[in-house]
Amino acid sequence: MRLFIDVNVILDVLTDREPWFQDSAAVLSLVDAPGVKGFIAAHTVTTLFYLTSKHLGPRQAAAVLLDLLDHVTVSPLDQDLLLRALSLGWEDVEDAVQGISAQKAQADYLVTRNPSDFPSSAVSVVTPKQLLAILATKD
Comparing 60 with 138, which gets the higher pLDDT?
60
**pLDDT tens by residue, 52-64:** 998 889 999 999 9
- Residue 20's CATH number: 3.40.50.1010
Contact 123, 102 (CB under 8 A): yes
pLDDT of 26 higher than 90: yes
Domain that holds residue 41: 2-138
Q: What is the mean pLDDT of residues 20-26?
A: 97
CA atoms 97, 51, 67, 4: torsion sign: negative
Q: Is the pTM of this model over 0.75?
A: yes
> Into how many domains does the chain fold?
1
Q: What is the mean pLDDT of residues 72-86?
A: 95
Spell out the residues 6+ positions from residue 109 whose beta carbon is closer than 8 angstroms to its own.
Answer: 1, 2, 3, 4, 123, 124, 125, 126, 131
Average pLDDT over the chain, rounded to an integer = 94
Q: What is the band of 139 on the pLDDT scale with cuts at 50, 70, 90?
A: low
**pLDDT tens by residue, 80-127:** 999 999 999 998 999 999 999 999 999 999 999 999 999 889 999 999
Q: What is the mean pLDDT of residues 14-26?
A: 94
